Amino acid sequence: MERRLTTILSADIAGYSRLMEEDESGTLAELKGRLGQLVEPMLQKSGARLIKLLGDGFLAEFASVVNAVHFAIDLQTANEARNTEMPDDRRMRFRIGINLSDIIADANDVYGDGVNVASRLEGLAEPGGICISDTVYQHVRRHLSCTFEDIGKRQLKNISGAVQVYRVSPGQPAAAGPRRRAQSSHQASIVVLPFTNMSGDPEQDYFSDGMTEDIITDLSKISSLFVVARNSAFTFKGQNVEADQVAQRLGVQYVLEGSVRKSNQRLRITAQLIDGRSNGHLWAERYDRNFEDIFDLQDEISRNIVEALRLRLLPGERETLAQRPTGNPEAYRYYLMGRSFFNRGHTRRMLRLARQLFAKALEYDPDYARAHAGTADCNSHLLDAGDTEISVDDIMAQSERALGLDPSLAEAHASRGLALYTAGRYDEADASFVKSLSLNPELFEANLFYGRNCFNRGWFDKAAELFGKAAEVNPQDFRSAGLQSMCQESLGEHAEAVAIARQALGRAERAVAERPDDADALAFGAGLLAFIGEAERTQDWAERAAIMEPDDRYMQYNLACAYAVLGKRELALDRLEQALRPGALRSLKEFMMKDSDLNILRDHPRYAALLAQETDRP
């Protein structure tokens, strides 16, 4: 037997007794068909465990609460599609309840109030409906595009205390979801799915992803078109999902999908615009071009979509669509490569590679504002990691250069905000981040860096909101989710903190699986493992990270957190002293003072000595 925090989903068939009375053999055959053809394959795809069948339903366990709600929505959608083939009085509809709680488990079953609550929530659901507890709602409300209806606190049978319950409506736009909602002024709505890299080289993903992001950016400039944000669109990367299912889940009319094949200086790009209601093709094209024609090609794709959807363009929008941050294809290519390395991890090796690629982009186009902003970001992180060759003044000059070239560039304002944060000038940093987010609310760096700025000031509610948004925008990033978990712990919401930490750990595990030498993921993941109680794995990950990056302040700080959570105070202080050795930034020290992972060290004389130690730089 073991006790663990997990997500339990309970489902049954509404009106099953009546169906059995009317046609026992037919009802049993249909139920077995739905379990075998819908439920079990979908559970397997979701990585869930089927605990047991319950006669007219089933009980399942999910490691991810988000995946549990996704599964419930997809199951109800697929089940309803199957119902259309049956007479009204023979249709089967699932009722589903989902709860996140501590349970007791063995190899064959699960026990405890957490299981009972899921079962009682199922009983509150309407036929074809889903009910979730408040712990589930708090975790998924920022991550899913669906409607959550508060139906109040309910007293459940044999459960002490009232339970806050929410009804989930699948296939509808979220009232407080992660994407913008289409307004009546929009003529049409569209999602641009990540273009598939057909080059045969996974390293070329940077280019297909960059193409997709730029098309999203271009189409977002059209006031009459609602465009699903990048974060929602990229959740479908690598998935084989029909266009009508994507359109239904996101509540849009049209889906753009395509592929990119890049070979030396030649490009082959396919694109197709699909009606999400009928799966019919409105427009499709294949482009065989030289790489130097990349910007003309992007313009042509945007124009073809405008024409296919018969959109009205306001004065100036056609010119805005044609504007490019650089006119040099090679500068663009090196910039996308730099962004790819920057997003892979904040180890010094990755940051220096990214900076080199941004520098190469600037050789081709010295006035490329995004490359200047990217360089400033790399230098800020390298300064934080202990690079003594970089100064705050250097970073400020780089970010000011980016703003001088393009005052409307959200990335440049975020870079300036990070430079000000690094310097400990938190009020000024606030203003830069607010400006950046006003220009692009979906910008990952602005949300992440602003969250750090708020965390250092003890504004944990605001920081948690920003880190949560950053985690939505970049579904691969483990740092933002881990920092959100830290904020929830500081706010006294331990169950929520643990649930988010498990999600962050899943992201870190995927990063390590893809790049076993990712010391950033190993060190940060060690802290997450310690927090959820996996001491043996914590030690393993910590040792691997320490070998790879022994001099990196980031790594040392994260390892200190991991050891502190495990209760190994002396080891934690050894690492913390390395992180705060001469040359440390004031922002790192102030972050340490707010970090709940280090609470066990507060009364130690060595910790007091670190607090008394002056930082060499602002």
- Read off the tokens for 425: 């000038």
Q: Do 16 and 159 sit in the same domain of this protein?
A: yes
What pLDDT sits at residue 322? 65
Query: What is the percent of the chain with per-residue pLDDT over 70, rounded to a whole number?
Result: 94
Question: Residue 535 domain-assigned?
Answer: no
Question: What CATH number should be reported for the domain holding residue 332?
Answer: 1.25.40.10
Query: How many folded domains does the chain comprise?
Result: 3
User: pLDDT digits over 46-61, tens only?
Assistant: 778 899 888 889 999 9
Give residue for tokens 């993903």. 205
pLDDT surpasses 60 at 429? yes
Q: Is the pLDDT of residue 170 over 70?
A: no
Tokens of 205: 């993903």
- Token pair of 217 as six digits: 């950016």
- In a 3-state reduction of DSSP, which class is residue 147? strand
Check whether residue 288 and residue 149 sit in a common domain: no
Where does residue 165 rank: exposed (0-12), middle (13-18), buried (19+ CB within 10 A)? buried
* Residue 133: CATH number of its domain: 3.30.70.1230
- Cβ burial of 149 (10 Å; 0-12, 13-18, 19+) is exposed
Please give the residue range of the domain that contains residue 6: 2-169
Mean model confidence pLDDT for the chain: 85
Residues 163 and 30 in one domain: yes
- 342 shares a domain with 268: no
Residues 249 and 107 grouped into a single domain: no
What φ, ψ does residue 481 adopt, rounded to 5°? -65, -40
User: Is residue 597 very low, low, confident or very high in pLDDT (cuts 50, 70, 90)?
Assistant: very high
Over residues 199-237, the pLDDT tens digits come to 877 778 888 888 888 888 888 888 888 888 776 788 788
**Across 525-529, average pLDDT:** 94
Residues 336-361 have pLDDT tens digits of 999 888 877 677 888 899 999 999 99
Q: Provide the pLDDT for residue 272.
A: 92
263 & 374 share domain: no
Nearest residue to 123 via CA among 16, 220, 42: 16
Question: By CB neighbour count within 10 A (0-12 exposed, 13-18 middle, 19+ buried), where does 122 fall?
Answer: buried
Tokens of 333: 């290519």
Domain boundary among 169, 203, 221: 169
Give yes or no: residues 274 and 148 share one domain: no
* H or E element that contains 286: strand 281-290
Choose one of 278, 304, 324: the last residue of a domain.
324
Contacts of 450 (CB under 8 A, 6+ apart): 414, 417, 429, 430, 433, 434, 436, 437, 466
Report if residue 372 sits inside a domain: yes
Same domain, 312 and 333: no
Query: What is the DSSP code (8-state) at residue 411?
Result: H
Domain-located, residue 463? no
Enter the pTM of the model: 0.64
List the CATH number of the domain containing 219. 3.40.50.10610
Same structural domain, 79 and 147:
yes
Going 521 to 526 to 532 to 533, the CA torsion angle's sign is positive
Residue range 533-546: mean pLDDT, rounded: 92
Taking residues 122-148, what's their average pLDDT?
A: 84
Q: Is residue 345 part of a domain?
A: yes
Question: Model confidence over 87-130: pLDDT tens digits?
Answer: 878 889 999 999 988 888 777 788 888 889 999 999 888 888 89
Final residue before a domain boundary, out of 384, 419, 441? 441
Mean pLDDT calculated for residue range 122-141 = 88
Q: Please compute the mean of the pLDDT values over residues 570-590 and round it to a whole number.
A: 85
Q: In terms of pLDDT, which residue wins out, 178 or 495? A: 495
Confidence of residue 142 (pLDDT cuts 50, 70, 90): low
399 and 306 assigned to the same domain: no
At residue 323, the pLDDT reads: 72
32/164 same-domain check = yes
Task: Based on the fold, state whether residues 163 and 249 are members of the same structural domain.
Answer: no
